[in-house]
Amino acid sequence: MLRGAKTYITNGVRADYFVLAARTRPEGGHHGLSFFIVDSDRPGIARRPLEKLGWHASDTAEIALDDVELPADALLGEEHRGFYLIMANFQWERLLMALGAIGSMRVLLELAIARARSRRVRGRPLGSLQAIRHRIAEMATKLAVSEALTYQALRLFADGRDAVREVTQAKLFTQRAAVRVADECLQLYGGAGYTGADGIERALRDLRLGPIGGGTDEIMREIVGRSLGL
């Protein structure tokens, strides 16, 4: 029987099933968690949608469980070994977030370059101004560094090697970099970007989740710091 609540569940309103971790042993720390697959319409489950800044195409919910009974086959994996499933999933989740940020930055950089070429100021292309060229150069550099960090982490992970530090660094750098690239792109577009041209304002809103979701920047820094023996 499950009892408890969790906030910020991606697709929690529309989901048919939940995969959740619950404490199944009062004592035991990491060894007291188990994973379950739960049918979302079971008695005792309540869902509440949450309003948010971005990701409007994907709902986010608060889930409450009040003495939810589960069948014996709801257990996922070994009992009391759920913590290890969580840790295994984190690496792949963070890599996916880094790869997604790279894709977003590529699109934003292409939009910024196209805007700099097509937009004219006093008869000159916007991109002919040194300040604009330098901004776009910084965007391109953030993208290149993000690719180098992420692809190295992905290679290590795919080879089955310990890649916790590299994956964490990739997630930490790419998420904040993507927000800054989106912000620079919006600034280049000016009022047109702020009012929705080419989806720039949506990109900025959606990408702002990156430094929070999948482990905040602060948690990423803590993991990297500890991996350095501090």
Which CATH number goes with the domain that contains 65? Answer: 2.40.110.10
- Residue finishing a domain among 44, 76, 108: 76
Q: What string of H, E and C letters represents the secondary structure of 158-192?
A: HCCCCCHHHHHHHHHHHHHHHHHHHHHHHHHHCHH
Tens place of pLDDT per residue across the chain (230 aa): 899 999 999 999 999 999 999 998 877 667 789 999 999 999 999 999 999 999 999 999 999 999 999 998 999 998 888 888 887 788 999 999 999 999 999 999 999 999 999 999 889 999 999 999 999 999 999 999 999 999 999 999 999 999 999 999 999 999 999 999 999 999 999 999 999 999 999 999 999 999 999 999 999 999 999 999 99
Helices (H) and strands (E) in the chain, counts: 6, 8
Class of residue 94 by CB neighbours under 10 A (exposed 0-12, middle 13-18, buried 19+)? buried
Query: Is the whole model's pTM more than 0.85, yes or no?
Result: yes
- Is residue 108 classed as helix, strand or coil in its secondary structure? helix
Please indicate, yes or no, whether residues 90 and 67 belong to a single structural domain of this protein: no
Total number of domains in the chain? 2
DSSP state of 127: G
Please indicate, yes or no, whether residues 62 and 158 belong to a single structural domain of this protein: no
Please indicate, yes or no, whether residues 65 and 87 belong to a single structural domain of this protein: no
Please indicate, yes or no, whether residues 7 and 25 belong to a single structural domain of this protein: yes
Residue 84 is predicted with a pLDDT of: 83
Please indicate, yes or no, whether residues 62 and 92 belong to a single structural domain of this protein: no
Residue 118 is predicted with a pLDDT of: 95
CATH number at residue 211: 1.20.140.10
Please indicate, yes or no, whether residues 67 and 104 belong to a single structural domain of this protein: no
Please indicate, yes or no, whether residues 19 and 119 belong to a single structural domain of this protein: no
Please indicate, yes or no, whether residues 90 and 69 belong to a single structural domain of this protein: no
- Residue finishing a domain among 57, 76, 95: 76
Rounded Cα–Cα distance for residues 197 and 18 (Å): 37
Please indicate, yes or no, whether residues 88 and 72 belong to a single structural domain of this protein: no
Catalytic positions are 93
Token representation of residue 25: 């042993």
Please indicate, yes or no, whether residues 72 and 90 belong to a single structural domain of this protein: no
Please say whether the beta carbons of 150 and 91 come within 8 A.
Answer: no
Please indicate, yes or no, whether residues 69 and 110 belong to a single structural domain of this protein: no
Residue 172 structural domain: 83-227
Residue 28 is predicted with a pLDDT of: 64
Q: How far is CA 219 from its chain centroid? A: 13
Please indicate, yes or no, whether residues 56 and 167 belong to a single structural domain of this protein: no
- Residue finishing a domain among 76, 94, 129: 76
